[in-house]
Amino acid sequence: MRQVNLHFEGVPNPQAIKIVLENGVLTQEAFEFTSFSETGYSPLARKLMMYKYVERVLIYKNYITVIKSNNSPEWEEILPELREAVNTHLSKNEPILYLGKPPIAHGTEDEIMFNLAKQVMDTHIRPFAQEDGGDILLESLENGVLRIALKGACKGCPFIKETVQKGIVAVMNEHVPSIKRIVWE
């Protein structure tokens, strides 16, 4: 049996919680599971998605972000069973991922501005989103419009509009002034 040290961190999105593994790394790339049918590549995500209140799971580096559905119990009620599920899975050294699932990734485009925006995103924005249990990736940059993808706790966060307007737009305006607008889904 492996010794597992976990702690929970609240994030700005009240529907999300970040489960942090203090003594190890889960994955080198980010993987998001948005439905039970997608969890065939991850026994850990499958276990978590079996709880009726779990809507999405993001696994990256040393943390797991669990996003619950709107009509689910309060976190205080469900954290013990989430802790037990993750702790049991990891202490038994059960697989986190199977080969074949591509990690979430930035969209690709052969433009100097896209690559610059990606570099700015990776160094100035993504670390803060990841700290809060989410991720923000670039999808495309066309005609000055940067399209971003929200992952994990960022998707559905009640503060995302403010984060984009006061954070991402400000940083991108400073480093990549050719970006005129940022859109997301």
Domain that holds residue 35: 6-91
Amino acid at 139: E
Q: Which residue did the predictor score with more confidence, 105 or 69?
A: 69
Q: Tell me which of 59, 91, 123 is where a domain ends.
A: 91
The 10 Å Cβ neighbour count of residue 30 is 20
Residue 171 has pLDDT above 70, yes or no: yes
CATH number at residue 140: 3.30.300.130
pLDDT at 109: 55
Indicate whether 83 and 121 sit together in one domain: no
- The CATH number for 27's domain is 3.30.1370.70
Q: Distance between CA 43 and CA 48 in Å, rounded?
A: 9
Please check whether residues 74 and 13 belong to one and the same domain: yes
Q: Is residue 166 part of a domain?
A: yes
Q: The dihedral of CA 154, 160, 166, 168: what is its sign?
A: positive
**Using CA atoms in the order 101, 82, 163, 114, what is the torsion angle rounded to 10 degrees?**
-10
Q: pLDDT tens digits for 20-64? A: 999 999 999 999 999 999 999 999 999 999 999 999 999 999 999
Mean pLDDT across 84-102: 92
Question: Could you tell me if residue 125 is inside a domain?
Answer: yes
Q: Are residues 12 and 85 in the same domain?
A: yes
- Average pLDDT on 82-88 reads 96
* Residue 131, domain member (yes or no): yes
If asked whether residues 26 and 78 sit together in one domain, one would say yes
Same domain, residue pair 127 and 170 = yes
Alpha helices in the chain (DSSP H): 43-49, 75-91, 112-120, 126-131, 160-162, 169-175
**What is the dihedral angle through the alpha carbons of 175, 176, 181, 185, rounded to the nearest 10 degrees?**
-80
Question: In this model, does residue 106 exceed pLDDT 80?
Answer: no
**What is the DSSP code string of 85-106?**
HHHHHHHTT--S--TTPPPP--
